[in-house]
A and B are shown apart, each in its own frame.
Chain A
Amino acid sequence: MSAPGGAGGVPGRTAWAGGPPGAAARTTARELTRQRHAFAIRHVAARCAVYLLAAAAALTGAAPFLWGLAAAVRADDGGAGGWRAAAVRARHLFGSTPFPALAAHTVLAGAAVTAVTLPVAVPAAYALARLRRRLHGTAGAVVLAVYALPPALVYPPLSRAVAAVGARDAVWPLVLVYPSITIPVAVWLLAGLLRAVPAEVEEQALVDGHSRFAAFVRVIVPSMAPGTLAVAVLAFGLAAGEFSYARAFAAPGPGATLSAGLPAAAHGTALGPVQLGVVLVAVPLAVAMNAALDRLVVALAGSADRT
């Protein structure tokens, strides 16, 4: 960096009234240089700290999955390592373990739950954000209360009912129950998102002669589409990851989801393939959530002061 008007130099930046720079100017210049150096060092140190912290956070977050990946490509005794070993394990995973069926059930359950949650949550969020604003605080309290309720209180009668109907191995009881987790969260987040949407376009639709419902369908729903997608991703993740109900309803049976079935299946089979399965499940979910994160943060920030 250039020292402004250093000792004996012609001042390039500061205009001194008459005459070459004196001692005061030289001191200033020295001090400025020193401060600039110090700032540069602090800046570099800060950047290093950020990168170190980022690396540490990433490693800690991904620790067991990295290990699983390493275990998946580890060479078997006497066999080849690397990708060939991983391919062998993958074939074992998809061929000899219940993993494909479990994964299919999980995807089915997640998709169905999302398909049930969104049509219920979007109108409810609209009602809270636009039609009945005063209820928004109460809704936040209800969401918290439902979240706080232990599943241990809720699943006994339901699992008895499911067993009585004879649907222990089916996926639909889960689809029936999971919305109790996803709907409150979805409504709350969507209401938060809606508060960030200005009311003018909707009001314009009303002025143009649409009914309230028509304005909702024509204006609000399309404008909320990205946020709804993010909430859908969240709902899917919540449904796919749920454990208590899954175990209580379809304790490791043929109709179980990954969450309930994989730990039990893991006892019988070799480590490598199942770990590969865990990584294969973790990565897409995290990728999807990563993409949805920005909108979720906006939604959270929008509803934060209603909690």
Chain B
Amino acid sequence: MAAHSPPAAPRRAGAADRDGLLAWAFLLPPAAYLAALVAVPAVLTVLAAFSVTVGAGARSGAGTGAVTAVLRSAVFWRALGNTLVVTVVATVLSVTFGTVVACLLRARFRGRWPVRFAVLLPWTTPAALSATSWRWLLDRPGSAAVRVLHGTGLLPAGTAWDARPAAATAVAAMVQGWRMTPVAAVIVLAGLAAIPPAVGDAARLDGAGAWRRAFGVTIPLTLPAMGLAALVTALAGATGMTVTYVLTGGRPHGTTQTLPALAYATGVEGGAPTRGAAIAVLLLPVPLLLLFAWSRVRRRLRPPLRPPLRRPRGRAAAARPDAAASRAGRRPAPPGPRHDRRGGRRGHRDGDRGGRDAAGGDRSGGGRTASAGTAGHDPMGRTAGGYPGDAADRGHHAGMEESPGRASGKARRGGGRRTRRDRGGRRGGDPGSAPSGGRR
């Protein structure tokens, strides 16, 4: 961190000291900008779809005429179907391969940099350019891509890829998936990086092999990141027009058009702005639905912020780890990214009532393991001082799982008293160390 020099002379507290004012001054420009250049045009477009013209004073044309006309046209429904197909297929492809690529990028091997470069190419290149390249590649009859398509049976031999709507849509979906794989990979990579290494170590020590570790430890801990990656790629697929517009352009005969591209083609190129606005408004439910689905799902992918309050604290919990942990086969909750983030503070509080947390395991939305071992025993009896959970329960996994390295690092930084008390040999869980809980 760069060293700074103290101010030359004592100053009076002025405007630059007031946190509230500063926060407003810092947050207002982006908020105002977004309101003016995103919210206002969006509202205007919605109004225009219902033929409400602002400022012109003519309300005679207002109504749902354009919207109902669009709803009645077959083109709209086919485009909606295409949009959904492309979105779903692209999301599945990119999240699956993105996860694979993310695991690959975490491994150490020679030539990692060129591989990373090649894997990032689909996303960093402007979409229009890569779509154009794909289009050329597919238009040439003897090219490698066409041969692969023929070979895998996705395309009957002898037909062009854009001669049939199904094949064209499938190809567009695949290109969109190809383009979004690096995005998914980066997001999942971030999620993987947030898993503390001690969790994998604990699993390995418990005897979990590679497969067990992958499916029992890593994947469940990465689920939030995979969910976010799925959301981001789905949103891009649902609202982006680039790939389908440049790649297929609606070929053949406009049957493979997707909704955003249709809105553009109708509104801007076709010179019918009201109809284009209507299509855009009807397109809106798709991303809204995705956001809503995400808000429902994310809670199940992550543990809730606060552990339930009804668990017994301290000694009582530490005294019955086995009975509690074996309840419903639930395993002690793993530390997700959230746990790391508020590292020690969270680790404190949960370590404090460590017996209670581990006992309930209720912090996980579904039973997940951070350690592939059986619940309720501590094979190594790890008690090295830094583990915040140790004080509360000795015979329990929670001690090992509470991201010891990072948590104790933060604990030492943020709340040193807790760790010192740990090392002072406090055992048996003392809910009286509540101050650490208050640090949130």
- Does B168 touch A at the CB level, under 8 Å? no
Interface string of B74-118 (1 = CB under 8 A from A): 000000000000000000000001001100100101011111111
User: What is the distance, in angstroms, from A40's C-beta to the closest C-beta of chain B?
Assistant: 15
User: What is the distance, in angstroms, from B46's C-beta to the closest C-beta of chain A?
Assistant: 7
Contact indicator A213/B16 (Cβ below 8 Å) = yes
User: What is the distance, in angstroms, from B182's C-beta to the closest C-beta of chain A?
Assistant: 7
- CB neighbors of B among A237-286 (8 A): 237, 240-244, 247-248, 251, 258-260, 262-263, 266, 271, 274-275, 278, 281-282, 285-286
- A contact residues around B279 at 8 Å (CB): 152
- CB neighbors of A among B108-166 (8 A): 109, 111-134, 136-137, 143-145
A121 and B25 CA atoms in complex are apart in Å by 12
**Residues of chain B at interface, number, CB under 8 A:** 117
Interface string of B301-332 (1 = CB under 8 A from A): 01000000000000000000000000000000
Contact indicator A154/B42 (Cβ below 8 Å) = yes
Contact indicator A290/B125 (Cβ below 8 Å) = no
A289 and B38 CA atoms in complex are apart in Å by 27
Interface string of A119-161 (1 = CB under 8 A from B): 0110110111001100100000010111111111111111110
Contact indicator A219/B1 (Cβ below 8 Å) = yes
A193 and B30 CA atoms in complex are apart in Å by 18
- Does A187 touch B at the CB level, under 8 Å? yes
**Residues of chain A at interface, number, CB under 8 A:** 107
SS of A interface (majority): helix
- Does B421 touch A at the CB level, under 8 Å? no
User: What is the distance, in angstroms, from A36's C-beta to the closest C-beta of chain B?
Assistant: 16
Contact indicator A211/B23 (Cβ below 8 Å) = no
A187 and B124 CA atoms in complex are apart in Å by 20
Contact indicator A124/B30 (Cβ below 8 Å) = yes
- Choose the segment among B59-67, B186-194, B360-368, B376-384 that binds chain A (4+ C-beta atoms closer than 8 Å): B186-194
Contact indicator A121/B30 (Cβ below 8 Å) = yes
- B contact residues around A154 at 8 Å (CB): 37-38, 41-42, 45
User: What is the distance, in angstroms, from A46's C-beta to the closest C-beta of chain B?
Assistant: 8
A251 and B119 CA atoms in complex are apart in Å by 31
- Choose the segment among B281-289, B347-355, B424-432 that binds chain A (4+ C-beta atoms closer than 8 Å): B281-289
Most buried by A among B40, B117, B133, B260: B133
Contact indicator B38/A149 (Cβ below 8 Å) = yes
- CB neighbors of A among B22-76 (8 A): 22-23, 25-27, 29-30, 33-34, 37-38, 40-42, 44-46, 48
Select A244's contact among B30, B48, B114, B242, beta carbons within 8 Å. Answer: B242
- Choose the segment among B200-208, B212-220, B262-270, B389-397 that binds chain A (4+ C-beta atoms closer than 8 Å): B262-270
- Does B337 touch A at the CB level, under 8 Å? yes
- Does A179 touch B at the CB level, under 8 Å? yes
A243 and B240 CA atoms in complex are apart in Å by 9
Contact indicator A282/B291 (Cβ below 8 Å) = no
- Does A77 touch B at the CB level, under 8 Å? no
Say whether, besides A127-B26, A213-B22, A300 and B186 are in contact (CB < 8 Å).
yes
Select A290's contact among B48, B113, B193, beta carbons within 8 Å. Answer: B113
Select A293's contact among B116, B125, B210, beta carbons within 8 Å. Answer: B116
- A contact residues around B132 at 8 Å (CB): 262-263, 266, 274, 278
A154 and B34 CA atoms in complex are apart in Å by 11
Q: List 9 A-B contacts (CB under 8 A).
A: A62-B121, A65-B125, A65-B133, A131-B19, A155-B268, A158-B41, A211-B11, A260-B128, A286-B120
Top 5 nearest A-B pairs (CB, nearest first) are A300-B190, A58-B118, A213-B16, A64-B133, A211-B16
Binding site for B on A (CB under 8 A): 46-47, 50-51, 53-55, 57-65, 67-68, 120-121, 123-124, 126-128, 131-132, 135, 142, 144-160, 176-177, 179-180, 183-184, 187, 195, 198, 200-201, 205, 208-214, 216, 218-219, 222-223, 237, 240-244, 247-248, 251, 258-260, 262-263, 266, 271, 274-275, 278, 281-282, 285-290, 293, 296-298, 300-302, 304-305, 307
